[in-house]
């Protein structure tokens, strides 16, 4: 695979430079060395059915307006429900939620039957109070297709912190193909 990058229009570096992209296996190996937090992104479809999937592609974008992004596989039923409803919740998982992270990564059809979840009238998607240390409720502000994934930008309209303030959260992390957590001091 190659892509053209237009360089300077005059001088020694003038012209077009051809760059080669790396193979998917090389890219996966690179990204596996970059640990990130683990979340479960949730929503409900217009009939009230809950949808969700494990996601480690979460990033803050802006403070004003408060915006984050999540990246989900194009064709995902969770993404389809999010786009129809225009809202989603990001459940930031604590260290004790490894089994739930695996469950929601598995694609098991009745995964919401296996965890406790809640959804009040303001929730953007199901909340997982036993597994999350914090939850952000978001309204979709923009989507961008990139390869086989969709980048979903969400404006955060509500945040819930579930971990006791004295203890602080011990977030669940994933990197080097395994789970870990940071100890809160």
Q: Where are the domains of the chain?
A: 1-32, 35-181
Is the dihedral angle over the CA atoms 34, 182, 128, 88 positive or is it negative?
negative
Contact 66, 156 (CB under 8 A): yes
Q: Which fold has domain 35-181?
A: Pnp Oxidase; Chain A (2.30.110)
- How, if at all, do strands 39-44 and 50-55 pair? antiparallel
* Average pLDDT per block of 10 residues along the chain, 185 residues long: 47 67 89 90 94 96 97 96 97 96 94 95 95 97 96 98 70 91 74
Q: Please check whether residue 133 is in contact with residue 171, taking contact to mean a CB–CB distance below 8 angstroms.
A: yes
Assessment of whether the complete model's pTM goes beyond 0.75: yes
Closest CA to 87 of 59, 54, 127, 115: 127
Place of tokens 């669940």: 172
pLDDT of residue 8: 53
**Which two three-digit tokens encode residue 28?**
């996966």
Sign (positive or negative) of CA dihedral 114, 93, 82, 137: positive
């Amino acid at each position: 695979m190659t892509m053209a990058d237009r360089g300077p229009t005059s001088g020694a570096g003038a012209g077009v430079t051809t760059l080669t992209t790396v193979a998917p296996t090389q890219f996966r190996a690179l990204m596996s060395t970059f640990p990130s937090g683990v979340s479960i992104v949730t929503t409900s479809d217009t009939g009230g059915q809950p949808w969700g999937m494990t996601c480690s592609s979460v990033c803050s974008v802006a403070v004003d307006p408060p915006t984050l992004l999540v990246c989900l596989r194009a064709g995902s039923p969770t993404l389809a429900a999010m786009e129809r409803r225009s809202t989603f919740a990001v459940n930031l998982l604590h260290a004790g939620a490894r089994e739930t992270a695996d469950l929601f990564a598995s694609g098991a059809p009745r995964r919401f039957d296996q965890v406790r979840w809640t959804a009040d009238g303001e929730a953007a998607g199901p909340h997982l109070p036993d597994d999350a240390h914090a939850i952000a409720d978001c309204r979709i502000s923009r989507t961008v297709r990139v390869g086989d994934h969709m980048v979903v930008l969400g404006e955060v309209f509500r945040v819930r912190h579930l971990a006791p303030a004295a203890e602080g959260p011990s977030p669940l992390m994933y990197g080097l193909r395994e789970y870990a957590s940071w100890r809160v001091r």
